[in-house]
Amino acid sequence: MQIIDLSKPIQYNKQDPWFMKVKIKHKPHHKAKWLIRILGLPFKLFPKNFTGWADDTIQKMGVHSTTHIDAPWHYSPTTNGEKSKTIDEIPLDWCYGDGIVIDMKHKVDFDPITVDDIEQFLKNNNLVLKPNMIVLIKTGRDKFNGTKDFHKIGTGMSAQATEWLIDQGIKVMGIDSWGWDLPLPYLIQKAKETNDAELFWEAHLVGKDKEYCHMEQLVNLDALPFTGFKVAVFPLKIVGASAAPARVVAMLE
């Protein structure tokens, strides 16, 4: 079996905007010696060649800062009139299944992915969506991951395309762009230019009426065939959270 990592590294990157910054403190081995001494073990009773243990503290990391999966709670407090699921309430059987890659690398920045785009791709490649597949939207924008403009560029899903995938029985989908919608700064600009209150965050807000999860900031989708693999995307079990970092992997026999 070949396992392909679809998750970005979790590390400090000075190019990230403030809302994506990750800060981790790495504690060297020798620091643990003093902790053990304070807890009551004399130095003379330390094991031979004991250097202590390394330790690390995540000092700052938003649940949306790196490769992650959003829960319905992120989009709205209710889904179709019922309380939305938080990330710890997501059924685990949603998080493992057959994967399919939808190649949208031809889409230019700020041109939304439509239902017709997806249907044409499936037809051209003789592919069929099946309920409970995990759909991965490949835009190629992961090459900008870690740059200061990552969140400002790329394509994104339309509300109609998102709803269409849900109607095919898809519960989990993901993208290799910064976000699921068109870039946030672009949406803000266009909403102000057009005075259109329905434009902003339209794909996310499908989750108000139809339950689904999506992943953002995936990487390495170029390493996958269109089908013939499994995807695992198990989030950290953070009680009450809107999302959680996940180690997303694809498995090919």
Domain with residue 221: its CATH number is 3.50.30.50
pLDDT tens column, 14-31: 999 999 999 999 999 888
In terms of domains, do 53 and 137 share one? Answer: no
In terms of domains, do 115 and 30 share one? Answer: no
End-to-end CA distance of the chain: 5
In terms of domains, do 41 and 102 share one? Answer: no
Specify the pLDDT at position 32.
80
In terms of domains, do 85 and 161 share one? Answer: yes
Specify the pLDDT at position 33.
78
pTM of the model: 0.94
* Strand spans (E) along 62-221: 68-70, 78-79, 82-83, 96-103, 134-138, 172-175, 213-216
Specify the pLDDT at position 51.
85
In terms of domains, do 156 and 208 share one? Answer: yes
Asked whether residue 193 is assigned to any structural domain, the reply reads yes
Listed as ranges, residues in the chain with pLDDT below 50 are none
In terms of domains, do 46 and 165 share one? Answer: no
In terms of domains, do 145 and 88 share one? Answer: yes
CB 101 within 8 A of CB 136: yes
In terms of domains, do 39 and 84 share one? Answer: no
In terms of domains, do 74 and 168 share one? Answer: yes
Asked whether residue 6 is assigned to any structural domain, the reply reads no
Asked whether residue 4 is assigned to any structural domain, the reply reads no
User: Half-sphere exposure (CA, 13 Å, Cβ side) for 212?
Assistant: 30
Q: Residue 149's domain spans which residues? A: 68-252
Burial letters 217-234, b for 16+ CB under 10 A, else e: bbbbbeebebeebbbbbe
Specify the pLDDT at position 76.
97
Asked whether residue 14 is assigned to any structural domain, the reply reads no
Q: Name the DSSP letter for residue 65.
A: S
Tally of domains within the chain: 2
Asked whether residue 12 is assigned to any structural domain, the reply reads no
Asked whether residue 84 is assigned to any structural domain, the reply reads yes
User: Half-sphere exposure (CA, 13 Å, Cβ side) for 179?
Assistant: 23
Asked whether residue 245 is assigned to any structural domain, the reply reads yes
Q: Which of 5, 34, 60 is the last residue of a domain?
A: 60
Specify the pLDDT at position 228.
97
In terms of domains, do 46 and 152 share one? Answer: no
Asked whether residue 7 is assigned to any structural domain, the reply reads no
In terms of domains, do 52 and 99 share one? Answer: no
In terms of domains, do 33 and 145 share one? Answer: no
